[in-house]
Amino acid sequence: MSQLQTLTITRPDDWHLHLRDGDALTDTVAWTAAQFSRAIVMPNLRPPVASTAQALAYRERILAARPAGSAFEPLMTLYLTDTTPPAEIERARASGAVHAVKLYPSGATTNSDSGVTDLARVYPVFEAMQQQGMPLLIHGEVTDPEVDVFDREAVFIERHLLRIRRDFPALKIVLEHITTAQAASFVREQAAVDARGAPLLAATITAHHLLYSRNAMFAGGVRPHYYCLPVLKRERHRQALLDAATGGDARFFLGTDSAPHARALKEAACGCAGCLTAPHALELYAQAFEQRGALHRLEAFASHFGADFYCLPRNTGTLALERVPMAVPECLPYAGGDVVPLGAGQILPWRLASAF
């Protein structure tokens, strides 16, 4: 059988992205705008993007950083804190620019110290979100130091997510960057849909969790550029994620969680969590889907299911990939310094041909 040489899909969106702020925006916005039409922008800045006013100001800074002629559209999120007023949800909804609220359990990851310390404190906010149809995006890891770092996602589902789902049955939820077979199963078991027929529970999946197991972090030595949170898991979990992503199930869609940290902050005694994948995101996802002979399923995962979940129109443009080997750069300029992308120095089988 002759191999597919080009793959043209509806232009994709990134449903989980870290753009950072300040000088970094010129680089991060250019990387993402080259591939994606829209992106859900994470609010874990310092200070966090906790109000609608802050989200609107951040949105302006992102728009100002777009390359000339780019129509890239940032979809803003709010950072949930113990003191978020329920009335903020109405303001967020009315702005038309805020599309979701992000729950970071306090201490779970980068810039999460303003996150939620006790879910009971934010129940009035969940109530308002359920009423307004505002999605809750969850970093699903417990922070209990007694729980093994590799078990934190599965334990979060048991201890917290089941209860949130039970107490707010009509709340739209995205379990972000899932990493385990347990998370994929949990999402599959939830069949409920909203009034518009969209799923009430979905999950994003990163390219790095589809391509790498935890072995990649320890191949011949410690490899800080493969360290992210939730941390990479065993091979059998990676296989479960590939099943989910390539299975044609509308509850699983693309979210890169591209999260750049300057090289010096990764290559350190206490390196930051995060993998940079935005500059070659679709190339990585194509490589993963091809492992399953499922390139024909990439378009729905990357370009349809996320928009459908958020009740936004699908994009009209296209993106083309071609089967031409591409070397991932060893490093890229970033905010006056440099950053090492995921898979630096490796050859990927697909490269971006064009995006319109």
User: Of Zn ion, ligand DOR, none, which one does residue 44 interact with (CB within 5 to 8 Å by kind)?
Assistant: ligand DOR
Nearer to Zn ion (CB atom), residue 27 or residue 257: 257
Q: What CA–CA distance (Å, rounded) separates 317 from 314?
A: 9
Closest to 174 measured CA to CA, from 129, 128, 210:
129
> CB under 8 Å to 268, separation ≥6 — which residues?
224
Catalytic residue status for 257: yes
**Which residue is associated with the tokens 């916005």?**
29
Beta bridge partners of 252: 203
Among candidate residues 13, 14, 27, 257, the one labeled active-site is 257
Answer for which of 14, 27, 141, 257 binds Zn ion (CB under 5 A) is 257
Answer for which of 39, 259, 278, 281 binds ligand DOR (CB under 6 A) is 259
- Strand 136-138 vs strand 98-103: parallel, antiparallel, or unpaired? parallel
What minimum distance in Å lies between the beta carbon of 109 and ligand DOR? 4
String of contacts with ligand DOR for each residue 38-77, x by CB under 6 A: ------x---------------------------------
Nearer to ligand DOR (CB atom), residue 11 or residue 152: 152
Answer for which of 229, 242, 302, 328 binds ligand DOR (CB under 6 A) is 229
What minimum distance in Å lies between the beta carbon of 178 and ligand DOR? 12
Nearer to Zn ion (CB atom), residue 249 or residue 257: 257
Q: Is 274 a residue that touches ligand DOR (CB under 6 A)? A: yes
The CB density around residue 347, as the number of other CB atoms within 10 Å, is 9
Closest to 284 measured CA to CA, from 230, 218, 332, 352:
352
C-alpha angle 266-183-50 in degrees, rounded to nearest 5: 60
String of contacts with ligand DOR for each residue 112-151, x by CB under 6 A: ---------------------------x------------
**Which residue is associated with the tokens 């009209």?**
316
What minimum distance in Å lies between the beta carbon of 279 and ligand DOR? 16
What minimum distance in Å lies between the beta carbon of 252 and Zn ion? 17
Answer for which of 70, 110, 190, 239 binds ligand DOR (CB under 6 A) is 110
> Are 274 and 337 spatial neighbours (Cβ–Cβ below 8 Å)?
no
Nearer to ligand DOR (CB atom), residue 11 or residue 139: 139
Q: Which stretch binds Zn ion (CB under 5 A): 167-175, 250-258, 292-300, 309-317?
A: 250-258
Q: Is 277 a residue that touches ligand DOR (CB under 6 A)? A: no
Answer for which of 18, 152, 209, 238 binds ligand DOR (CB under 6 A) is 18
Q: Is 32 a residue that touches ligand DOR (CB under 6 A)? A: no
- Strand 14-17 vs strand 38-41: parallel, antiparallel, or unpaired? parallel
Nearer to ligand DOR (CB atom), residue 78 or residue 259: 259
Nearer to ligand DOR (CB atom), residue 123 or residue 218: 218
What minimum distance in Å lies between the beta carbon of 44 and ligand DOR? 5
Q: Is 14 a residue that touches Zn ion (CB under 5 A)? A: no
Q: Which residues bind Zn ion (CB under 5 A)?
A: 257
Q: Which residues are catalytic?
A: 257
Q: Which residues bind ligand DOR (CB under 6 A)?
A: 18, 44, 109-110, 139, 228-229, 259, 273-274
